[in-house]
Amino acid sequence: MGLFPSRKAEVEATPLDDVDAVLADLDGVVYAGAHALPYAIESLNRAGETRRLGYITNNASRRDSTVAEHLRELGLVRTRPDDVVTSPQAAMRLLRERVAPGATILVIGGDGLVFEVEKAGFAVTRSADDAPAAVVQGFTPEIGWAQLAEASYALATPEEDGGIPWIATNTDWTIPQARGIAPGNGTLVSAVHTAVGRLAVVAGKPERPIFDEAVARFGARNPLFIGDRLDTDIAGAQSAGIASVLVLTGIDRPKHVLAAPTTSRPTFIVGDLRELHEPYPATTVRGDVTTVGEASVRIDGPDIHIVSEGERPIDLVRAGAAAIWATGRAIYGFRVPERLYADPFHRP
């Protein structure tokens, strides 16, 4: 089954066995920019025939209703706004704990963030001169220097010295787009941090609030989360106690999988979402040889040897990851053959 199987151990089990709710990230999993990724829509629709489908996104630029409409246009026709859990919704949980009801909030972000702030009963301002009770920052492509400067002015005093709270919807460094990989909200949060020397409280992945909201909303007992990033998606699911799938259609590549720290290792690794419905081969270890499917890897001191590449590149990645992770040693302690982290998988 998975690299660290926690459910049925049968060789013929798929990643979806025993799962009652599939929770999927969006950018890099379902779509890149405005367009669906290959095989994503049909694979998720099939999974949703017998399970609840939900979507968790760190992207704070759009309302849940707008995201749901986009997903329906792509072919996920049964998607409703309450199927979408956004980082601004998680941010409102944190905001309610820190400021008085109806307080004025400086919003650095787009319509999706403004909508959630107002829905939560707070007043929105765009100026630090309005004495805001907190700053909430999220991504939108229109953010520029002037907006980041307003956040810096409002956050000049450290919170421990009487300054106001600063909540970031997420700190993703990058975001997949149709033309390639672009800077994400983390770069914008970092710009403000550099100016004021403070750290934001983060609401979205990899923090727990957004996962806890999804599990509670969908009543999931055995959820499975699908993501494309180890540092946010997989680390977040792991910290929330949720089984995870890393799909190689977005940010992280095979070389990142091999080097994944213990805090961000997926239960399953797939090349695309069709493999959710395919038998997931067991990982077997005989002596110093680790085998997944027809792919085998042997570790000899600092050297990693490919015993058999097999017919499926994904099985070689799985075998290499299982072998390296089992040693408890960091990737830089090995000599890794280039074929082990070859990357024939689709990405935007």
> Distance (Å, rounded) from C-alpha 273 to C-alpha 176?
17
Query: 155 burial class (0-12, 13-18, 19+ CB within 10 angstroms)?
Result: buried
Question: Residue 27 catalytic?
Answer: yes
Number of C-beta neighbours around residue 333 at 10 A: 10
∠ CA 268-276-78, rounded to 5°:
130
Q: Catalytic residue, from 17, 18, 20, 25: name it.
A: 25
Residues near 97 by beta carbon (within 8 Å), at least 6 away in sequence: none
Q: Token pair for residue 41?
A: 């829509």
CA torsion sign for 264, 269, 271, 274 is negative
DSSP-assigned states of every residue in 37-83? PTTHHHHHHHHTTTSEEEEEE---SS-HHHHHHHHHHHT-TT--GGG
Q: Cis (ω within 30 of 0) for the bond into 206?
A: yes
3-class DSSP state for residue 194? Answer: helix
Q: Catalytic residue, from 18, 27, 130, 233: name it.
A: 27
> Distance (Å, rounded) from C-alpha 265 to C-alpha 253?
13
Question: Residue 25 catalytic?
Answer: yes
Which segments of the chain are extended strands (E)? 21-24, 31-32, 35-36, 52-57, 84-86, 104-108, 123-125, 134-137, 166-168, 174-177, 180-183, 201-202, 223-227, 243-247, 268-270, 283-286, 289-292, 295-300, 303-308
- 292 strand-pairing partners: 283, 295
Alpha-carbon separation of residue 142 from 10, 78, 131, 153 (angstroms): 50, 31, 24, 19
Active site residue ranges: 25, 27
